[in-house]
Chain A
Amino acid sequence: MLKVEANWIDLRYLDALSTQSTFIHHLNPCAKLITTLSFIIAVTSFSKYEITGLFPFFLFPVILFSLGNLPTAPILKRLLVVAPFILFIGIFNPLFDHTPIMKIGSVVITGGWVSFFSITIRLCLTITTALILVATTGIDAIGAALLKIGVPRIIVIQLLFMYRYLHVLVEEFIRTITAYSLRSFHGEGVQFRAWGSLLGQLLIRSIDRANRIYQSMLCRGFDGEVRLRRTSTLTSTDIGYLACWLIFFLLIRFFNVPELLGKLLVGVN
C-alpha cells in the first residue's frame, strides 16, 4: 500500500510548504487565485499548434518557485506522476494529423507532432501552477478566497471540513490496510471477500467519528453556523501583483515574444 502513503506524504508536504513566510505566501489569496486562473485561461486559449508563444509563460512558475522558496523536485515529481494519461491521449495527434507544418533543415514536421508538443508544454505549465497555488497559499486561505469570490458557504465549509479529516482518516486507513496485508498472503490489494467488510467497517467507523465530532462541536457551542476566520485584506501590493501579471499575460498572449527575440537574434527582418 505504498501508493496510499506516498500520496499522503505529498499532501502533507504541500501543506507544510504553504506555511512558509515569503513575499508570495503573504499575498492576498484572492489575488493569487485570480492570477492562477488567468494564467491557465491564457495558456489554454492558444491555438493547438502554438509552441513558441507558450514559452514566455514559463516565467510565471519560475518566478513563483524562486520568490515562494519552493523546492522543484517534489512538484516536478507530481507532474511526472500525472503526465502519462494526458500524454497518452495526446500521442494520438501525430497518428491522425499528418499535415506538414514546418521544416527544420530537411526534416518536415507534421501538425500532429507540433500539437503533441504543444500539449506537453501546456501540461507542464498548468499542472505546476496549480500545485504552486496550493503550495504558496494553503487550503484555509484558498477557502477564504473562494468565499470572497462568492462560492456558497456550505461548499467552502465542506471543503475545509473534508480536508481537515482527510489527514485523520488516511492515517487510520493506512493502519487498517497495513494490518490487513500483514495478516493476508495476497500481497498488494484487498481480496474480493474482504471488500465489503473492510470498507464497510471503515465506513461505519467514519460515521461514528462524524457523530463524535458533531457532539464535541455541540459541546463547544456550535449553533449550525460555521465561522471562518477571514483576516486577509486586499492591499496595494496585492493589486499591483495582480495587475502586473495580468498585463504580462496579455502581452505575451498577443505578442509572440520568442518570435520577436529570434528575429532580432537571427536578423530575419
Chain B
Amino acid sequence: MHMADALISPAVGGAMWAASAGIAAYAAKKVQTNLDDRKIPLMGVLGAFVFAAQMINFTIPGTGSSGHLGGGLLLAILLGPQAAFLTIASILTIQSLFFADGGILALGCNIFNMGFLTCFVAYPFIYKPLTGTNPSQGRLFLGSVLAAVIGLQLGAFGVVLETLFSGISELPFATFVLLMQPIHLAIGLVEGLVIAAVVLFIKKEAPEILQKTAAGQPFGTISIKRVVLTLFIAALVIGGALSWFASSDPDGLEWSIASVTGEDELKAPEGIHGFFAEIQAKTAFLPDYNFSKPEEPAATASTDQEKAAWPSVDTGTSFAGIAGSLLTLALAFSIGKGLRHLTSRG
C-alpha cells in the first residue's frame, strides 16, 4: 500500500504533495482553532499507539495468515477527521523516514491514499451516517467494517491511478486493478474486523471516549462544503499537473502512443515543448544516441531511419554506456572509500 519513490514521477509526486499539503494546512488550521490543549498529547500518544499496533499480527481465523490494524479509520473515530488526518500524516512521515516504508516524494500520495480517503471520505460518508450518535453494537460493527473496506479500496485505487499516471510501471490499468482491489478487499475486511473489535471493546469498557467524539466534542464536526471544495482544488491541481506532464514528458504517454500507432516520433514540438524535447533528447538513453559522428553524415541519416522503428542502437555506444557506467560506479565508491579513510584519520 505504501508507494515508493522508484515507481512515481516527480509530476505525480509533486501534485499529490500539493494536494496533501493543502489538506494538511486546512486540517491544521481547523484543529488549531478549536484545539483543546488536552488533545496535543492525546494526538501524539494515539499516533504512537497506531504505529505500534500496526506491528502486531492478528491471526485470521481459519487461515494461516495474519492481518494488521488500519490506522486512519480508528484515529478518525477517536479523534475526529482533522486531527486524525494530521496524526496519520505524521505516522506516514516517520515510516518513510525511519523505515523507508514509502518514499519521501511519494509521501504526498501515501498521505492522500491512506489519510484523506479514510479520514475525509470513508469516515464522514460511511462510518458516521451508519453509526449516528448512539449506535447499537451491530451498527458499530457494520460501520467500522464497511468504512475500513471502502476506505482501503479507494486507497488501493489511488495507488493504481498514481502509478499509472507516473508511467514508470508498465502494468496495464485493468491488470493492476485486478491485482490490487481483491487483495485490499481481504486486507480491508480484516482491518475492519480489528477496528470493530476494538471499538466494541471500548464501547463496553470506556464508552465516554466514543461518546465524546461522536457528539462532536471537540473535533467531531466536519463541513461537507469544505471537503468538496478541497476535493475540487485537489482535482484541479492534479489535473493541471498531469496535463503538463502529459504534454511535456514524452516518456510514458507518448511512448505508448508510438507503440500503438507504429509511428516513430511525434511531430517536431515548438516553444516550451521544444525546450523540453531538447532536454529530453540530451538526457534520453536511447533516441539520438550517437549524434556525434560528423565525419559520416549520410550514414547517420540512414541509422536514424533504421532507428525509427526502435530496433537497434549501435552496439558500440551501448558498450560505451556500460563501460562508462561501471567506471562511474567504481569512481563513486573509491571516492567514498577515500573520504572515509581521510575522515577516520582526521
Contacts and interface: CB of A to CB of B under 8 A. Distances in A.
A62 B332 contact: yes
A100 B57 contact: no
A186 to B, nearest CB: 7
A46 to B, nearest CB: 7
B163 interface: yes
B324 A261 contact: yes
B104 A36 contact: yes
Contact of A96 (B104, B170, B319, B322): B170
Given A152-B29, A161-B43, A90 B7 contact: yes
A183 B129 CA distance: 40
Contact of B336 (A65, A97, A254): A65
B332 A58 contact: yes
Contacts of A170: 48, 51-52, 55
Interface string A59-85: 100110111010000000011011001
A152 B28 contact: yes
A241 interface: no
B335 A63 contact: yes
Nearest to B290: A268
B251 A47 contact: yes
Contacts of B223: none
B238 interface: no
Interface residues of B, number: 119
Interface band, chain A: 35 or more
Contact of B57 (A3, A36, A257): A3
Interface of B: 2, 4-10, 13-14, 24-25, 28-29, 31-32, 35, 37-38, 40-49, 51-53, 55-61, 66, 69, 78, 86-87, 89-91, 93-94, 96-101, 103-105, 163, 167-172, 175, 193-194, 196-198, 200-202, 205-206, 209, 249-252, 259, 279-280, 282-286, 290, 292, 310-313, 315-325, 327-329, 331-333, 335-340, 343
23 contacts: A7-B99, A23-B343, A50-B283, A52-B322, A63-B339, A66-B339, A103-B313, A131-B97, A133-B104, A159-B93, A161-B40, A161-B41, A162-B91, A170-B48, A186-B59, A196-B201, A206-B48, A213-B45, A214-B37, A214-B38, A224-B40, A254-B279, A258-B321
Given A48-B167, A49-B284, A262-B324, 9 more contacts: A52-B285, A96-B171, A127-B100, A134-B98, A139-B94, A165-B44, A166-B47, A170-B55, A265-B324
